[in-house]
Homo-oligomer: A and B are copies of this chain.
Amino acid sequence: MTLPIETPAVLVDLDVARRNVRAFQDYADRHGIRVRPHIKTHKLPQMAELQLEAGAIGITCQKVTEAEAMVDGSARIKDVLITYNILGEAKLARLGKLNERVALSVVADNADVIDGLAGFFSPRQKPLTVLVECNTGADRCGVATPAEAAALARRIGNAPGLRFGGLMTYPPAGGTARVQSFMTEAKKLIEADGLEVPSITSGGTPSMMEAGEAPIATEHRPGTYIYNDRSLVARGVATWENCALTVLATVVSVPAENRAIIDAGSKVLTSDLLGLAGYGHVLGRDDIRIDQLSEEHGRLVSDGPIGLAVGEQVRIVPNHACVVTNMVDAVHIIEAGEPKAEWAIVARGRVL
């Protein structure tokens, strides 16, 4: 079926997205876990509203300018967690303004960041809520031990313009048990020091359906779950039918019997592999590999005749949905199989 959309284009099936959001919200509700979706996947106020309507308590952003774009885009977004160490006068000024508009919280994993926040937020204004980021195995940011978490919690608690908001982690896939043990110990130390731990928030889509196995966590921040992608299908946590985001491309050349070139390259599909071979899955064509991308060309190869014609459209599930929505200015919204609207991706490219 040919869609009346100029290619390459990013499509989002709203019916599938709604079902994906509902499925995790139901799981979280059953386990008493609050849901705070990460908007990095969609970057759209409209999708955040859909998540809030389903029961989410707020949103997660990674950068201050993402949060600004989302809050500007929807009056219904009133609670925002920025899971990032914020540094520098320019960003602190943005943060200060945002803190007056919504219930805002940020994280910190070191004393320099806390001291920067403490120096900016004075006791005369609304306090900024700060959580301590903990490393539960992803080895990215985060304090290494519960004792360090407790020391930073105390540092936040001692700053007159700040309020200690709890503990945050982004565990690796399969890291649920470590979340439980780390957070249990950290919470005990912090409470023994006379501080409350209002929230313990964990994240990630791959292990979200095990979130109930770390009951110490009060909140989960899935991102990709709303769209899903090839990496999640490969992990067995989604099927092609659960993939709401696809890339629509047109075959522009069939220069050899087993090779076709499409008009989507790394400027749409991106070079993210996430441990996979190839750059996406052509729906309905398990026999095709996308073995090479340049910026505007995607190369499709097969063992036998590729059976594609110049001008034909293909739909591709990308390896990683979140990065694809950063590549285009708008997504085409599909409902009941038909294009219904184009939504500008207002938080695209917001890296500051």
Which of A190-198, A206-214, A250-258 is the contact stretch?
A250-258
For A141, give its contact among B88, B142, B253 (CB under 8 Å).
Answer: B253
Q: Is the CB of B250 within 8 A of A88?
A: yes
Closest Cβ of chain B: how far from A6's Cβ, in Å?
Answer: 5
Q: A266-B272, A296-B63 are contacts. A311–B112 as well, Cβ < 8 Å? A: yes
Q: Is the CB of B6 within 8 A of A135?
A: no
Which of A24-32, A69-77, A319-327, A335-343 is the contact stretch?
A319-327
Residues of B close to A268: CB separation below 8 A? 351
Q: Is the CB of B90 within 8 A of A6?
A: yes
| A96-134 to B contact mask, C-beta < 8 Å, 1/0 | 000000000000011011001000000000000000000
Q: Within 8 Å of chain B (Cβ to Cβ): is A62?
A: yes
Q: A252-B141, A295-B62, A297-B141 are contacts. A326–B267 as well, Cβ < 8 Å? A: yes
Interface secondary structure of A, over-half rule: loop
Q: Is the CB of A327 within 8 A of B311?
A: no
Q: Which residues of A contact B (CB under 8 A)?
A: 6-8, 40, 62-63, 84-85, 87-88, 90-91, 109-110, 112-113, 116, 135, 139-144, 250, 252-256, 259, 261, 263-264, 266-268, 270-273, 292, 294-297, 299, 309-311, 322-323, 326-329, 349, 351-352
